[in-house]
Structure 1
Amino acid sequence: MINVTNLSYAVDGTQILNDVDLSIKRGGITALIGPNGAGKSTLLHCISGLNTLSGGSVQIDGHDPVLMPSRARAKLVALLQQTPHVVSRLRVRDLVAFGRWPHHRGRATAQDSVLVDEALHAFALETFADRPIETLSGGQRQRAFLAMTYAQDTPWMLLDEPLNALDPKHARDLMVRLHGMTRETTRSIVIVLHDINAAAGWADHIVAMKDGRVVAHDAATTFLTPENLNTVFDTPFEVISHGTRTVVAAI
């Protein structure tokens, strides 16, 4: 479980997060949604241990990510940031293999190779495995970084807007894959999304943020009402059922 208690975070005197209290149980997909500047990405980075808190605390499965040794933290939680750095002339397979580094520390085994192959397969990258990363499209490159995060083999995956650069088909495909991972493995995913329909279709729980605070945390099926969405985004919404799916539209 992730427990966030009275968390605050400020940069150069500007308060970004204020008194955030949040508990995320293991299992499934938890989507962080909210308007631009709500603090979603900052909260994700605080949970990962990347940001030093101004106040409060974070516990991941009983561990403080800031105080943990970096290698131990990298075996507990994997973070994919919005704009990961691309190294020129690096093959896709080599990029994905970096996810294994916390485990083998430069002494890769046959099992590490197996897990890299599994990550390539999980994100349909087998045919791109030997391609230099800079020759891929933006969407393919995003999948390669996701595969690296997956290869890290952590119980928690924190993903910051992974649908960026993906067209509707590949965005849907990615959400299907992530949803399946949380059913077929013990992984839990916390994901920042701007696409509310992606959250409606695939998230189990939604954490809604506004002005640096958590304003709602509920099951996706319960949270997704016009009233709740209007409160968070300050714009009217219609929520309709289409077969077994919930569809959200700003009106």
Structure 2
Amino acid sequence: MIELKHLTKVFGKSTVVEDASAQFEKGKVTSIIGPNGAGKSTLLSMASRLIQKDSGKVLIDSVSLEEWDTKELAKRLAVLRQANSITMRFTVREMVSFGRFPYSQGNLKAQDQKIIDQAIAYLDLTHIEDKYLDELSGGQRQLAFIAMVIAQDTDYVFLDEPLNNLDIKHSLQIMKNIRRLAHDTNKAIVVVIHDINFASCYSDVIIALKKGQVVAKGSVEQVIQADTLERIYETPFNVIEQDGKRMCTYY
């Protein structure tokens, strides 16, 4: 389990995250929702040591984040950031193979190749594994990045807005695979996401931020409530339940 305890981050005179606490459990998809500027990506960056926190604690399997050796942390926690700008020309397979770097240091062995094969097959990318990333659609590229994260084979996976600029088909594909990955392999997957309906349909836990503070957290049933969403987003919501899933409309 990853535990966030009273995290705070200040940039200049602005408090971006304030006294935020949460838990990320193995075998579950946790979605972090909230308006633009709510501090979602900042919270995830502090939890993964990408940026320094000003106060609070992060515990990974009861060990403080500061105590983790960088190489060992990379074997426990994988992070896919919101912006993935690749200037060099790589094939899908080459991209996915970077996920093995914490183990191989670039010297891939037979076991590494096997795990790369499995990650590519898991996301149904075998037929395009030799294509270059710049030959792919945005959705296919995003799947390749997620396959790289899968190849890293960590207990914890952070995905910062993995659906950014994707169409519905690829967004569905990614969310279905994220949920399958968490449940099949007992990984804790944490997703920063804007689409409330995707969060509702494919998450086990939802954490809502507003103005840097955690204002709601719990199961889908607990958080996806019209009054709760109205308080978070300051707009009227209607929530209906259909086929066991909660769906939202706003107006």
Tell me the TM-score range normalised by the shorter chain. over 0.9
Could you say which residue in structure 2 is the equivalent of 1:19? 19
After TM superposition, list the pairs within 5 Å mapping 1:62-77 onto structure 2: 62-77=62-77
Q: Is the 8 A contact 1:37 1:211 kept in 2?
A: yes
Could you say which residue in structure 1 is the equivalent of 2:246? 246
Cα deviation, 1:92-131, whole Å, max 9, x if unaligned, reads 1011000000011122111100111111112221111111
Q: Aligned equivalents of 1:194 and 1:145: distance in 2? A: 19
Q: Is the 8 A contact 2:26 2:182 kept in 1?
A: no
Q: Is the 8 A contact 1:88 1:134 kept in 2?
A: no
Q: Is the 8 A contact 1:10 1:54 kept in 2?
A: yes
Could you say which residue in structure 2 is the equivalent of 1:209? 209
Q: Is the aligned partner of 1:226 residue 2:226?
A: yes
Q: Secondary structure at the match of 2:103?
A: helix
TM-score by length of 1: 0.96
After TM superposition, list the pairs within 5 Å mapping 1:176-215 onto structure 2: 176-215=176-215
The residue type equivalent to 2:204 in the other structure is: D
Q: Secondary structure at the match of 1:118?
A: helix
Which runs of 5 or more structure 1 residues have no equivalent in the other structure? Answer: none
Residue 210 of structure 1: how far off its partner (Å) = 0.3
Could you say which residue in structure 2 is the equivalent of 1:130? 130
Q: Secondary structure at the match of 2:82?
A: coil
Residue 67 of structure 1: how far off its partner (Å) = 3.6
TM-score by length of 2: 0.96
The residue type equivalent to 1:216 in the other structure is: A
Q: Secondary structure at the match of 1:53?
A: coil
Which runs of 5 or more structure 2 residues have no equivalent in the other structure? Answer: none
Residue 165 of structure 1: how far off its partner (Å) = 2.6
Q: Aligned equivalents of 1:56 and 1:200: distance in 2? A: 29
Residue 63 of structure 1: how far off its partner (Å) = 2.4
Q: Secondary structure at the match of 1:178?
A: helix
Q: Which moved more, 1:136-145 or 1:38-47?
A: 136-145
Q: Secondary structure at the match of 1:5?
A: strand
Q: Which stretches of structure 1, 4 residues or longer, exceed 4 Å deviation after superposition?
A: none
Q: Which moved more, 1:19-28 or 1:87-96?
A: 19-28
Residue 26 of structure 1: how far off its partner (Å) = 2.2
Q: How many residues align?
A: 251
Q: Aligned equivalents of 2:135 and 2:63: distance in 1? A: 40
Q: Aligned equivalents of 1:92 and 1:124: distance in 2? A: 12
Q: Aligned equivalents of 1:148 and 1:92: distance in 2? A: 9
Q: Is the 8 A contact 2:34 2:232 kept in 1?
A: yes
The residue type equivalent to 1:72 in the other structure is: E
Could you say which residue in structure 1 is the equivalent of 2:89? 89
Give the root-mean-square deviation of aligned CA atoms.
1.2
